C-alpha cells in the first residue's frame, strides 16, 4: 500500500499533499457483531485540486469523510490506518490537539444545510463564531468578518441578511452559508459531503461554481463526496471509486472515466443514460450492493460482476497499478486495460476540465 502511494507521490512531485489517508479502517458495532464499513481506504488529496469520493449509498464514502473529520457516531470507530492532514496524523492525536489542528485547517460542508445550522441564532452570529473562538475577535469584529464572508459566497445584501435566521433563507442560500462557515478560517482541506444533492439543477450549478472559485482563491484541497458521475466528471481532478466499503478504483478522472479498469466503474459509467437513444435498453448492473455485514470473502463485487471467475470467490484483489496514477482492485484489470485500448470503447472522454464561465 505504502509503496503505491509513494510511487504516486513521486509521479506528481509538483503537487503539494494536503491530506494523505492510508489504510483507513472504520468499524461499526451492531447487535449482531462488528461490521467493517470502511476497509483499507487510501488516497491523497492535493492542494488546489478536487478529489471525488464516488459511490452509491452505503458504500462507505460518508463514513470515510466523517472519520477524516473526526465526526463519527459513537457506535463507529476508526480501527486502523493513518489520516495525515499536512503531515500530522489526526488519528493518534488527543481530542484536544485534534481540535486545535483540524478546527482551523479542515472545513466541512454537509448535505442538509437546514439541520447543520442552529435555528435559534442568526446566521451572522453563527458565521462569526469561528472568528471568536479561533481568532479571538470580539463580537463586532466577528460580525464584520461574517458579513464579508457572506459577500464572498454571493449572498445579496449581507449587512441585512446577517441578522436573519437560517429558516429565512432558501436551500441554495443556506448551502452558501454552510460553505462560508466551512471556509471561514481559510482551511487547507474542504470536505463537501453531497453538497448539492438536495438542490435543483440551476442552483447546483451556482454552488459548484462557488466551490470552484473558492478552491482557486484559497488554494485548498477539496474532497467532494457524491454519487453523481456527471458532477465528478465536471468538478474533480482525481476520483476514488468505492464499493461496499472498499476502494475498487482510483486515479485521475479523465482516465478513470474514459478507460475504467474495474468492472464496477465500467458498469456505473454504462448505466448513465447519456448515449442511449429513447427506448434503448440501458446497460445496468444486475442485483444490488451486498449488505455490509455479509460481505463475501474474496472480491466485494463478485456477485454482480460479469467477469467473475473462481479466483474472485477466494482472494480479495489488492489495488494494482493499471495506468499512470490509476489503480484498480480487480484480478482481471489487465483484460480491461487491453479492452480500453480498443476503439470499440465509446467513452472517449479525453477533453480537459470544464472551464468556469461564471
56/284 Cα distance (integer angstroms): 14
Q: Check residue 324 for interaction with other proteins (CB under 8 A).
A: no
Q: Check residue 349 for interaction with other proteins (CB under 8 A).
A: yes
To other proteins, the closest distance from the beta carbon of 338 in angstroms equals 23
User: Among residues 43, 46, 131, 257, which is the contact residue for other proteins, using CB under 8 A?
Assistant: 257
Residues 99-158 that bind other proteins (CB under 8 A): none
User: Among residues 31, 87, 119, 343, which is the contact residue for other proteins, using CB under 8 A?
Assistant: 31
Q: Check residue 168 for interaction with other proteins (CB under 8 A).
A: no
Our CB check for other proteins shows the closer of 342 and 357 to be 357
Q: Check residue 195 for interaction with other proteins (CB under 8 A).
A: no
Our CB check for other proteins shows the closer of 4 and 205 to be 205
User: Among residues 37, 300, 336, 340, which is the contact residue for other proteins, using CB under 8 A?
Assistant: 37
Nearest Cα neighbor of 62 from 116, 26, 101, 106 is 26
Q: Check residue 92 for interaction with other proteins (CB under 8 A).
A: no
Residues 294-323, mask of contacts with other proteins (x by CB under 8 A): x---------x-------------------
Our CB check for other proteins shows the closer of 133 and 203 to be 203
Residues 10-29 that bind other proteins (CB under 8 A): 28-29
Q: Check residue 202 for interaction with other proteins (CB under 8 A).
A: yes
User: Among residues 130, 292, 305, 336, which is the contact residue for other proteins, using CB under 8 A?
Assistant: 292
Q: Check residue 209 for interaction with other proteins (CB under 8 A).
A: yes
**Three-state helix/strand/coil letters over the chain:** CHHHHHHHHHHCCCCCEEEEEEEEEEEEEECCEEEEEEEEEEEEEECCCEEEEECCCCCCHHHHHHHHHCCCCCCEEEEEEEEEECCEECCCCCHHHHHHHHHHHEEEECCCHHHHCCCCCCHHHHHHHHHHHHCCCCHHHHHHHHHHHHHHCCCCCHHHHCCCCHHHCCHHHHHHHHHHHHHCCCCCEEEEECCCCCCCHHHHHHHHHHHHHHHHHHCCEEEEEECCHHHHHHHCCEEEEEECCEEEEEEEHHHHHHCCCCHHHHHHHHHCCCCCCCCCCCCCCCCCCCCHHHCCCCCCCCCCCCCCCHHHHHCCCCCEEEECCEEECCCCHHHHHHHHHCCCCCCCCCCCCCCCCC
To other proteins, the closest distance from the beta carbon of 249 in angstroms equals 15
To other proteins, the closest distance from the beta carbon of 188 in angstroms equals 26
Q: Check residue 167 for interaction with other proteins (CB under 8 A).
A: no
To other proteins, the closest distance from the beta carbon of 194 in angstroms equals 13
Q: Check residue 289 for interaction with other proteins (CB under 8 A).
A: yes
Q: Which stretch binds other proteins (CB under 8 A): 4-12, 214-222, 225-233, 316-324?
A: 225-233
Q: Check residue 95 for interaction with other proteins (CB under 8 A).
A: no
**Sequence-separated contacts (24+) of 134-139 with Cβ below 8 Å:** 134/103, 134/104, 134/185, 135/185
To other proteins, the closest distance from the beta carbon of 299 in angstroms equals 16
Residues 6+ apart with CB under 8 A from 16: 46, 47
Our CB check for other proteins shows the closer of 45 and 207 to be 207
To other proteins, the closest distance from the beta carbon of 148 in angstroms equals 21
256/262 Cα distance (integer angstroms): 9
Q: Which stretch binds other proteins (CB under 8 A): 16-24, 142-150, 263-271, 316-324?
A: 263-271
105/185 Cα distance (integer angstroms): 7
Q: Check residue 213 for interaction with other proteins (CB under 8 A).
A: no
Specify whether the CB–CB gap between 355 and 208 falls below 8 A: no
Our CB check for other proteins shows the closer of 201 and 310 to be 201
User: Among residues 2, 271, 313, 318, which is the contact residue for other proteins, using CB under 8 A?
Assistant: 271
Amino acid at each position: 500500500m505504502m509503496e503505491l502511494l509513494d510511487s504516486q507521490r513521486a509521479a506528481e512531485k509538483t503537487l503539494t499533499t494536503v491530506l494523505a489517508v492510508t489504510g483507513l479502517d472504520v468499524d461499526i458495532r451492531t447487535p449482531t457483531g462488528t461490521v467493517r464499513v470502511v476497509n483499507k481506504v487510501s488516497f491523497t488529496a492535493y492542494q488546489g485540486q478536487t478529489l471525488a469520493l464516488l459511490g452509491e449509498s452505503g458504500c462507505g464514502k460518508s463514513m470515510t469523510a466523517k472519520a477524516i473529520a473526526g465526526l463519527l457516531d459513537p457506535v463507529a470507530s476508526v480501527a486502523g490506518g493513518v489520516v495525515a492532514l499536512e503531515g500530522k496524523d489526526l488519528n493518534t492525536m488527543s481530542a484536544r490537539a485534534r481540535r486545535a489542528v483540524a478546527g482551523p485547517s479542515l472545513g466541512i460542508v454537509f448535505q442538509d444545510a437546514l439541520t447543520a445550522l442552529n435555528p435559534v441564532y442568526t446566521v451572522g452570529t453563527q458565521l462569526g463564531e469561528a472568528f471568536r473562538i479561533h481568532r479571538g475577535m470580539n463580537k463586532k469584529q466577528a460580525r464584520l468578518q461574517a458579513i464579508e464572508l457572506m459577500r464572498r459566497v454571493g449572498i445579496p445584501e449581507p449587512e441585512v441578511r446577517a441578522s436573519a435566521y437560517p429558516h429565512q433563507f432558501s436551500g441554495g442560500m443556506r448551502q452558501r452559508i454552510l460553505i462560508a462557515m466551512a471556509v471561514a478560517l481559510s482551511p487547507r482541506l474542504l470536505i463537501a459531503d453531497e453538497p448539492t444533492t438536495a438542490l435543483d439543477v440551476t442552483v447546483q450549478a451556482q454552488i459548484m461554481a462557488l466551490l470552484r472559485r473558492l478552491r482557486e482563491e484559497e488554494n485548498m484541497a477539496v474532497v467532494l463526496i457524491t454519487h453523481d458521475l456527471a458532477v465528478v466528471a465536471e468538478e474533480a481532478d482525481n476520483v476514488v471509486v468505492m464499493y461496499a466499503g472498499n476502494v475498487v478504483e482510483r486515479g485521475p478522472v479523465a482516465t478513470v472515466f474514459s478507460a475504467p479498469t474495474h468492472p464496477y466503474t465500467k458498469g456505473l459509467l454504462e448505466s448513465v443514460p447519456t448515449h442511449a437513444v429513447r427506448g434503448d435498453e440501458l446497460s445496468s448492473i444486475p442485483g444490488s450492493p451486498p449488505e455490509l455485514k455479509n460481505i463475501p470473502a474474496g472480491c466485494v463485487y463478485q456477485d454482480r460482476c460479469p467477469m467473475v471467475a473462481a479466483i474472485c470467490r477466494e482472494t480479495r484483489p489488492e489495488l494494482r497499478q493499471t495506468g499512470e496514477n490509476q489503480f484498480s482492485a480487480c484480478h482481471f484489470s489487465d483484460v480491461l486495460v487491453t479492452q480500453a485500448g480498443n476503439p470499440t470503447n465509446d467513452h472517449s472522454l479525453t477533453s480537459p476540465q470544464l472551464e468556469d464561465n461564471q
